[in-house]
Structure 1
Amino acid sequence: MDDASSQSRPSADQPNPFSAVPIEITISVGKARPLIRDLLKLGKDAVLPLDKRVDDAVELYVGERLIARGELEELEGDQQGQLAVRLTEVADLQDGLG
């Protein structure tokens, strides 16, 4: 049986050609909701409060889709000072993250 759709799917021994394509993930640490009059007054050294606390989870998005949650941490060793995210919850990409 010659099924074109099954021929286009990668098999277990044939890697998906898209697996090496980089994708951008946006990490959301929170949102700010200032009044416009307050926003217009912002300048250097202004502090803009967010709706999250330092120890709250951050959210990882691909486009508009939430794919995971995690905790911010600092890398050590040669990459000391570099921010990273330790994943604490990962979405089932079929059903999303609840």
Structure 2
Amino acid sequence: MDDAPQENTGKANPFTVVPIEITISVGKARPLIRDLLKLTRDSVLPLDRRVEDPVELYVGDRLIARGELEEMEGDNAGQLAVRLTEVTDLSGEL
């Protein structure tokens, strides 16, 4: 591809309006299979993180950011959100 600056033709890049799915990882569980087979409604599955620990944001399998879970207020009260605390640079490293 040509590395020269692109001339602005006044047209918006069509890729800017394509939605992308971001997965938020709050933790992992590692139960034994025998314990997994005993799970029922109302079972509690402990995770490897605490409530105040940062969550990780992924696009596919690529880590793109870290943040803190928050609860929305106002019209969206009760809805979960993430406040970003770290964002990857262009090389993909935190």
Fold in common (TM above 0.5): yes
Partner of 1:96: 92
| 1:27 counterpart letter in structure 2 | I
Residue 89 of structure 1 aligns to a residue whose secondary structure is: strand
Gapped regions of structure 1 (runs ≥ 5)? none
| 1:95 counterpart letter in structure 2 | S
- The TM-score with structure 1 as length reference comes to 0.85
What is the number of equivalent residue pairs in this alignment? Answer: 93
| Identity of matched residues, % | 70
1:78 pairs, out of 69, 75, 79, with 75
Q: Tell me: CA distance 1:5–1:17, structure 2 relative to 1, closer, same or farther (3 Å).
A: farther
Q: How much does 1:17 deviate?
A: 1.6
1:47-95 deviation per Cα after TM superposition (whole angstroms, max 9, x unaligned): 0000000000000000000000000000000110000000000011x31
2:33 pairs, out of 33, 36, 61, with 36
| 1:96 counterpart letter in structure 2 | G
Partner of 2:53: 56
Q: How much does 1:11 deviate?
A: 3.6
1:67 pairs, out of 47, 64, 69, with 64
| 2:77 counterpart letter in structure 1 | Q
